[in-house]
A and B are shown apart, each in its own frame.
Chain A
Amino acid sequence: MKLKLHVWRQKSPKAQGKMTSYDVKQASPDMSFLEMLDVLNEDLAQKGEDPIAFDHDCREGICGSCSMVINGQPHGPEQGTTACQLHMRKFKDGDDIFIEPWRAKAFPVLKDLIVDRGAFDRIIQAGGFVSVNTGGAQDANCIPIPKHNADLAMDAAACIGCGACVAACKNSSAMLFVSAKVSHLALLPQGQPEKTRRVLNMVNQMDKEGFGNCTNQYECEAACPKEISANFIAKMNREYLGASFFSQEE
């Protein structure tokens, strides 16, 4: 296949970026999208040009590193798929493909397609955990959990923290990411003692990081490579409302 790529190139965080075009002369339909970029990068490196920088690691769709907007869609056109698991057979010979980084105030560009997603870690620091130290846990089967709740918690916990939800949202909202963690822990008995402060602190941190609000467009759900349901946002809103009314005085 022959392709024309248009890629966001930005040398450093403060540098001015721009779209640059490249011809890919030989792509195979069996290649993954990132392998197609590897081939282009080999070509650039050979010519003495700076290869396109992009985050990637496991290339199995689970680490959450890869992060690029392909033809306007985070992770590209295939539903429920990360960019690393997207294959070139999804495209046609002669296609123009536009590749950009996640665009959000809270995710500043470091170089080309690489952004800083440290904001997500800081949201987890604000409350996305159960405060148990190592060593004192009771026997695991002392906490029976209805299968339905455990399965639902697992559906929320499947989030890979890639940030596609933010990139897809016109408000750059992180509600899907935050609600997945709030819901995962709120659905389990282990998460109950801290559920009030967890949701308040995480939402507070989310706002501080500069993410926008949710206006119910569900673009996040459509873009999510793990198909996390937007129902969790509703759950988080209920948790937040409850916590705001009934939170204890510290």
Chain B
Amino acid sequence: MKLDAKIPSGPIEEKWNNHKFDLKLVNPANKRKYDVIVVGSGLAGASAAATLAELGYNVSCFCFQDSPRRAHSIAAQGGINAAKNYQGDGDSVHRLFYDTVKGGDFRSREANVHRLAEVSVNIIDQCVAQGVPFAREYGGLLDNRSFGGAQVSRTFYAKGQTGQQLLIGAYQALERQIGLGRVKMYTRAEMLELVVDNGRAAGIIVRDLATGEITRHAGHAVLMATGGYGNVFYLSTNAKGSNVTAAYRAYKKGAGFANPCFTQIHPTCIPVSGDYQSKLTLMSESLRNDGRVWAPKNKGDKRAPSQIPDAERDYYLERKYPSYGNLAPRDIASRAAKEACDDGRGVGDTGLGVYLDFRDSIKRLGKHTIQERYGNLFHMYQKITAENPYEMPMRIFPAVHYTMGGLWVDYNLMSTIPGLFVLGEANFSDHGANRLGASALMQGLADGYFVVPSTLSGYLADLPRTSIATDTSEFKKAETEATDRLNQFINIKGKKTVDTFHRELGKIIWDRCGMARNKAGLEKAISQIPALREEFWKNLKINGTGSELNQELERAGRVADFMEFGELMCRDALAREESCGGHFREEHQTEDGEAKRDDENFAHAAVWEYKGDTAIPARHKEQLEFENVKLATRSYK
């Protein structure tokens, strides 16, 4: 597998501008002769589909939900970063670039991150022009708030619904193009296979989830904006439908998969309450501005929190990280919570929880102020747990939230398969081993509005403008593969439901490849997962047929891919003999339990190449060069 990142030469501030000039253009009259397929309609997919259609390309867009407006970008709460420096507090493109590289624990690609910081300012302009109702000050100008990992206020927000408002902005732009006939939208349509013809991405195989019909779609380029794979853990803050299938199918067709073990565990989620639990709910990072995190000092202390005096409470973040205190970054705060629970000091029925306490800030600021700042979150917490967080501390526990790993892409966002572009959370390039808060929205929109519209023309300009046929042997083969798999699921006629298998897989991954990993555990997982997979293919029970709306069958396909992907994740975690960001290997820690990076041997992206169902995948490296941000150990003490 050849990994040429195609990073333009020259100083980092000039790379993107120079590159845009060097890229070939497609004449306006010729654009409509190119068919572009966009899979996914979240921030990255919707913004790309709309922008490419505005430019004149002939676009088809696919989403598995009933409307493009439902993609999971919609659930992002906090905000979106941009280096506008409207607050005059010393922000700049370079500072956003620097914070992101450092926050990612030096495992991202400098050139991509710099471009992200550059276009961040255009994103805000574009969104405001569309009518996104960002929060404003009384003077009518835009308001900002602070977020983790930064010392400036650069986060733009729309109440606690920033993701929703940005997605609705992109969705409206997309619907406008659909109305104009420039985008053909397919809803309730799931991509099951990627078609690669003559070494290039040529199209996709799609199942209509309402009717079960399988169709072929051809394009000169395929853009995948299919999100992250957090649901491999079964329980996560992701939407129920979020899955790895599109990315994993592309991997099996030759796309390199980079750093699959880099997953983000968010420290403040509502703890699991029972076996029936279907998903986890995030409580925004912003709560840690005023809430203090603690666990009882004594093991097995079952007293009500109000009965535990201060002397018997361990405010462990403030104790361990006095300079950052409760605002320590996500990876560090999550591990500290796990440590307290592993020590037998967890709270709640399950012992898997710690307190996030607002007692002191309510005393200091008054209930009214806290209500103004966090009212909607307190309300949501109360609805789910039936406990009043104004009177007793919230119980929180870390949960899987985001995946930094993804399909490998070069500077143009093209994967190792020519013509297959990967956008947003589905790719790997910008967040390294840990993502900073309010940067996911920024990356999705940067890729879709500003990056891919430029880089795509560089690829298409060299292609013939004749349309791509769908009656080739490659299309036929891919379609047969897809239908055979569906039939297989139905014909197993075993005894266990797909959700049972998914839970079992999730438990293995969470126990062995979660917040802390070690060699023995990962090796165990690598032997457990294939056994579970074998049972899945022998004992799965799916009712109904493939030629109707069948939600069990939809899940079977997704879980089947998670079954293979989970193993790849564990292999990646095992091979990376260091700790960095969200990847914590217990063997590699400092004396006081902090992550210990190994820059000499692991300052690279690990890129996995599929070698066949029974073969071990090959691990390749893209060496990461740090020319503008000096490699240093992160410290929050």
Binding site for B on A (CB under 8 A): 11-12, 28-32, 34-36, 38-39, 42, 45-46, 48-51, 53, 55-65, 78, 81, 85, 87, 89, 110-111, 114, 116-118, 120-121, 124-126, 128-135, 137-141, 143-147, 150-151, 153-154, 157-158, 160-161, 184-185, 188, 190-191
A58 to chain B: which residues have CB within 8 Å? 70, 72, 74-75, 239-240
Q: Are A49 and B274 in contact (CB under 8 A)?
A: no
CA distance A126 to B176 in the complex (A): 8
How far apart are B321's CB and chain A's nearest CB, in angstroms?
Answer: 30
Can you list 8 A-B contacts with CB-CB less than 8 angstroms, sorted by A residue number?
A: A32-B384, A42-B499, A57-B70, A60-B281, A121-B178, A137-B122, A188-B131, A190-B129
**Nearest neighbor of B143 in chain A, beta-carbon distance:** A147
Binds A, one of B98-106, B254-262, B540-548, B575-583: B540-548
A133 to chain B: which residues have CB within 8 Å? 51, 54
Binding site for A on B (CB under 8 A): 47, 50-51, 54, 65-72, 74-75, 84, 86, 122, 124-131, 133-142, 158-159, 161, 164-165, 168, 171-173, 175-176, 178-179, 185, 187, 210, 239-241, 273-274, 276-279, 281-282, 380, 383-386, 449-450, 453, 497, 499-500, 541, 543-544, 548-549, 551-552
Q: Are A125 and B549 in contact (CB under 8 A)?
A: no
Q: Are A48 and B140 in contact (CB under 8 A)?
A: no
Q: Which 3 A-B pairs have the closest CB atoms?
A: A144-B140, A125-B179, A129-B172
Q: Are A154 and B187 in contact (CB under 8 A)?
A: no
A128 to chain B: which residues have CB within 8 Å? 172, 175
How far apart are A75's CB and chain B's nearest CB, in angstroms?
Answer: 13
Contacts A53-B549, A121-B68, A154-B135 given; 15 further ones with Cβ under 8 A?
A: A12-B549, A30-B386, A38-B276, A38-B278, A110-B549, A116-B210, A121-B69, A121-B185, A141-B84, A141-B86, A141-B141, A143-B128, A150-B133, A157-B158, A158-B159
A42 to chain B: which residues have CB within 8 Å? 497, 499-500
**Nearest neighbor of A188 in chain B, beta-carbon distance:** B131
CA distance A141 to B85 in the complex (A): 11
A28 to chain B: which residues have CB within 8 Å? 273-274, 276
Partner pick for A134 among B51, B86, B239, CB 8 A cutoff: B51
Contacts A129-B130, A185-B131 given; indicate if A87 touches B383 (C-beta within 8 A).
Answer: yes
How far apart are B245's CB and chain A's nearest CB, in angstroms?
Answer: 15
CA distance A73 to B285 in the complex (A): 34
CA distance A11 to B550 in the complex (A): 10
CA distance A124 to B131 in the complex (A): 14
Q: Are A157 and B165 in contact (CB under 8 A)?
A: yes
Q: Are A158 and B453 in contact (CB under 8 A)?
A: no
How far apart are B48's CB and chain A's nearest CB, in angstroms?
Answer: 10
Partner pick for B175 among A38, A124, A145, CB 8 A cutoff: A124
CA distance A87 to B277 in the complex (A): 12
Q: Are A64 and B125 in contact (CB under 8 A)?
A: no
B128 to chain A: which residues have CB within 8 Å? 137, 140, 143, 190
A139 to chain B: which residues have CB within 8 Å? 125
How far apart are A155's CB and chain B's nearest CB, in angstroms?
Answer: 9
**Nearest neighbor of B140 in chain A, beta-carbon distance:** A144
With most chain A CB atoms within 10 A of its CB, the pick from B449, B541, B544 is B544
B124 to chain A: which residues have CB within 8 Å? 140
CA distance A55 to B173 in the complex (A): 25
With most chain A CB atoms within 10 A of its CB, the pick from B134, B172, B450, B552 is B172
B453 to chain A: which residues have CB within 8 Å? 134
CA distance A133 to B176 in the complex (A): 10
Partner pick for A118 among B187, B241, B551, CB 8 A cutoff: B187
How far apart are B444's CB and chain A's nearest CB, in angstroms?
Answer: 14
Contacts A114-B549, A134-B449, A147-B140 given; indicate if A55 touches B66 (C-beta within 8 A).
Answer: yes
Q: Are A110 and B74 in contact (CB under 8 A)?
A: no
Contacts A57-B240, A120-B67, A140-B125 given; indicate if A191 touches B131 (C-beta within 8 A).
Answer: yes
How far apart are A73's CB and chain B's nearest CB, in angstroms?
Answer: 17
Partner pick for B278 among A34, A53, A135, CB 8 A cutoff: A34
**Nearest neighbor of A65 in chain B, beta-carbon distance:** B70
How far apart are A136's CB and chain B's nearest CB, in angstroms?
Answer: 8
Q: Are A110 and B210 in contact (CB under 8 A)?
A: yes
CA distance A143 to B127 in the complex (A): 12
